[in-house]
Structure 1
Amino acid sequence: MAVPVPRQRDTPATESAQATPPAVAHATAPQASLTLLVIEDDPAGGLTVPEILDADRHRIRLRTARNLTEAARLLTQDVHCILLDLSLAGTPGGSGPGAGPGTAGAGTAVADQLAILREVLRIAPRHAVLVLTAEADAERAAEAVRVGAQDFLFRDELDGRLLSRAIRYAVERKRADIAQYKLAESKLRAQENARLERGLLPNPLLEGSDLRFAARYRPGRSRALLGGDFYDTVRTPDGTVHAMIGDVCGHGPDEAALGVELRIAWRALTLAGLCGDDLLSTLQEVLEVERPCEEIFATLCTVDISPDGRRAGLCLAGHPAPLISRPGRRAQLLPYENSGPALGLLPKARWPRRQVELGGAWSLMLYTDGLIEGRIGEGRERLGQDGMVEMINRHLDRGLSGEGLLEASVTEARRLNGGELTDDVAVVLLSRTDG
């Protein structure tokens, strides 16, 4: 139902502002004084707002509006508090639709007045609101506070000192309410993000395996939970450990959603027994059905590690080759010749599976190109795969491994870039000790 707006008179809305009293002008440096917007429509000017001073004895600026239309026009950001006369509508003596004889009664009048208050709260959600009413209407005043006003004042008791204190309290209470609301909203968002993270980021299935797992994930979008990068690791009943990492081109929420779909599809297909070319061909079909446009593609790297942990099968779909390190040897990239194209580029592509000897003790690092495409210093040079290999070897020489190795690597890539990396970054580390 539309809120009734009192008829606007021809007399313009008024604003009064008095200068700071000379006696206190020298006491403090000039500062922005409080501004009070008074909404009342008494044609005889019956509502008299007394002279009011703020805590520093500066006169508070006053603006007067006779209806909601004028109030909305005068409601600028420098207004700190609103004083609403509840007789604005729906009571005898007011100019609203409910005024005068023949009205529907007190219940309708109260409803009209609270409707006006609700409209004021709607157009001024960040402003403190005081309501003014007669002392006989204490119940209505309390209801106004329940609706959302900060406090109420009785018209017969109104004086400058009381109003000044009420304005200060109302402004501070509104600030506290807003701060509390933001805090509660932040906590709720954090809880929701944690639930999303648990649901969307993978929970590695490695029970029964002697491999150690570590991962790091940083979305490139500001305040995003997920980007287009994705990864997963599962152990199938025959003891084989399957790991993958991928990257959907683009950085928006559609790409992030597609990455989650591809990860879930990969896990389902892997647990169903697919591997290598058969798995990647099926994933490409999933991508072609789910992608928002034909230009979207995804790179992917999959490895399947034998139950004894000494060999692995490697498939690359347009993705950077993993890095392997072994005790007493320098880290290096795994062979990446004869890799297949990214998923979604060629309709009948093939992805050959290459057998790799791992040895007894090793660490295998899978990563997305966000780690290697950051700049080095102020020039245009990128870190690249060679720079990444050198960086990893430096950290290995320091004795880093597992979570510490990944954290140090991502941190150094950010430092070399001169700030946050613009692309998503995902890194997975699988390690085995020869026991």
Structure 2
Amino acid sequence: MPVPVPRQRGVPVVETDRGSTGATGSSGGGDLTLLVIEDDPAGNFTVPQLLDAAGTRVRIRSARNLTEAERLLTDDVHCILVDLALPGHGEEELAPLKHVLRLAPRHAVLALTTSGDAERAAEAVRVGAQDHLFRDELDGRLLSRAIRYAVERKRADTAQVKLAESRLRAQENARLERGLLPTPLLQGSDLQFAARYRPGRSRALLGGDFYDTVRTADGTVHAMIGDVCGHGPDEAALGVELRIAWRALTFAGLCGDELLSTLQQVLEHERESEEIFATLCTVDIAPDGRRAGLCLAGHPTPLIARHGRTAKLLPYDDNGPALGLLPRARWPRRQVELGGAWSLMMYTDGLIEGRRGPDEKQRLGQDGMVEMINRQLAAGLEGEALLEAAVSEVRDLNGGELTDDVAVLLLSRHGARR
């Protein structure tokens, strides 16, 4: 039975501008293009376009088989009407429809059948069609409305799928990146630990900065913080490799120059190019908590706040080069007196490279950071609260998000400000 689509009089034929709207794009209330796939030598769909009550023109293209349909399926097609009774597809149930769904996963698809085949029509919707139409009940108004609804339904389904995929990717990335951040190993130590991390990459949890803290069997607490130049995923991966290598080498008994020399070998082997380098600060705190060994590889010196005194930078003039710059570099280890009660803050340069104010060009720098920390200590902040306030204030002073990664680590002893 031919499809009784009425001719629309007085409606001019307008060529579709290909590429102006896609299968998943918005029609913006404008014209829609329907591709009809039906084995009909007499040409049931003889009109070039329909006009619905809302004034939307539906332009019609006809294909007699799937091969011809594939040729006519261009970007400006919004919807496909496929006859479920197309011949030449064997006994497989809904074979023409399934072929079209594979061929055009981004398009709205309508299934065409007879009212006596309602079960197959319902199955067509279950396998992926947006709706079904009965051949013997079809008219121009119903067809136009079905096309419009199918396009909107497909658009909503596509948006929902993309949202679900985006959420799933975000959850997977979050689990992965959280798993890559370190868990401090400080069992048996009387030191308190706090850390804050904020990557410079948008929507990332992990950047090129890295840190770690462990306690070895002799009671020494080892801490480190570092920064791989760059902000992408490759730099983040290299930072994780260096952190894991540092932990393994520390547990193996390496310290100071020997440890940093070995880490440089790891970096040279794993980096993507010879221009990649990393800065690093390592501290090993004696079991009694009163002394520490300090090594700097092109990294900012830590800040120390002793109980009842203002915070200041540790004195350190003998700073070795960043890892990866000089093949046979050396990194002297300097002994530092900590005292009885103290807080030691290690940080990456992202904390000090923001501006001093939204309308200022001058960088905050280490001196500005020390002033800021002293204000926060005077306000009674310590531990996690101190680090959170520091990172937030640096961001506010900068007038927005920082472009560089920021990592801050705080170790405190015996109730000192932390």
Which position in structure 2 is the counterpart of 1:64?
Answer: 60
- Structure 1 counterpart SS, 2:165: helix
Q: What is the root-mean-square deviation in Å for CA atoms of aligned residues?
A: 2.7
Q: TM-score, normalised by structure 2?
A: 0.84
Which position in structure 2 is the counterpart of 1:86?
Answer: 83
Kindly indicate whether residue 415 of structure 2 is the aligned counterpart of residue 431 of structure 1.
Answer: no
| Alpha-carbon distance in structure 2 between the residues aligned to 1:316 and 1:400 | 28
Pairing partner for 1:420 from 389, 401, 405: 401
Which position in structure 2 is the counterpart of 1:11?
Answer: none
Which position in structure 1 is the counterpart of 2:44?
Answer: 46
In structure 2, do the counterparts of structure 1 residues 416 and 71 end up closer, same or farther at CA, with 3 Å as the change threshold? farther
Aligned-residue offset at 1:52: 6.3
Q: After the TM superposition, which residues 28-427 of structure 1 pair with which residues of structure 2 at under 5 Å, given as runs?
A: 32-33=29-30, 35=32, 37-40=34-37, 42-47=40-45, 53=52, 57-67=53-63, 68=69, 71-73=72-74, 75-76=75-76, 82-86=79-83, 90-91=86-87, 98=88, 106-107=90-91, 110-121=94-105, 125=106, 127-160=107-140, 162-163=142-143, 166-167=146-147, 169-376=149-356, 377-427=358-408
Q: TM-score, normalised by structure 1?
A: 0.81
Q: Judge conservation of contact 1:90–1:110 (CA < 8 Å) in 2.
A: no
| Alpha-carbon distance in structure 1 between the residues aligned to 2:44 and 2:31 | 24
| Alpha-carbon distance in structure 2 between the residues aligned to 1:150 and 1:237 | 65
In structure 2, do the counterparts of structure 1 residues 197 and 278 end up closer, same or farther at CA, with 3 Å as the change threshold? same
- Structure 1 counterpart SS, 2:304: strand
- Structure 2 counterpart SS, 1:396: helix
Letter in 1 for 2:262: T
User: Which is worse superposed, 171-180 or 333-342?
Assistant: 171-180
In structure 2, do the counterparts of structure 1 residues 208 and 16 end up closer, same or farther at CA, with 3 Å as the change threshold? farther
| Alpha-carbon distance in structure 1 between the residues aligned to 2:397 and 2:411 | 25
Structure 2 unaligned blocks of 5 or more:
1-10, 15-27, 64-68
Q: Judge conservation of contact 1:233–1:244 (CA < 8 Å) in 2.
A: yes
Seq. identity, %: 72
Aligned-residue offset at 1:38: 3.9
Letter in 2 for 1:198: R
Aligned-residue offset at 1:115: 1.3
In structure 2, do the counterparts of structure 1 residues 114 and 139 end up closer, same or farther at CA, with 3 Å as the change threshold? farther
- Structure 2 counterpart SS, 1:302: strand
Letter in 1 for 2:327: P
Which position in structure 2 is the counterpart of 1:4?
Answer: none
- Structure 1 counterpart SS, 2:91: helix
Letter in 1 for 2:319: S
Letter in 1 for 2:81: L
| Alpha-carbon distance in structure 2 between the residues aligned to 1:52 and 1:208 | 80
Aligned-residue offset at 1:36: 5.0
In structure 2, do the counterparts of structure 1 residues 154 and 52 end up closer, same or farther at CA, with 3 Å as the change threshold? farther
Aligned-residue offset at 1:133: 2.1
| Alpha-carbon distance in structure 1 between the residues aligned to 2:31 and 2:348 | 55
| Alpha-carbon distance in structure 2 between the residues aligned to 1:120 and 1:257 | 38
| Alpha-carbon distance in structure 2 between the residues aligned to 1:403 and 1:16 | 69
Question: What does the per-residue CA deviation read over 1:221-244, in whole Å, with 9 as the maximum and x for residues that have no partner?
Answer: 222232111000001111111100
Question: What does the per-residue CA deviation read over 1:186-220, in whole Å, with 9 as the maximum and x for residues that have no partner?
Answer: 33223312321232110110111111111111111
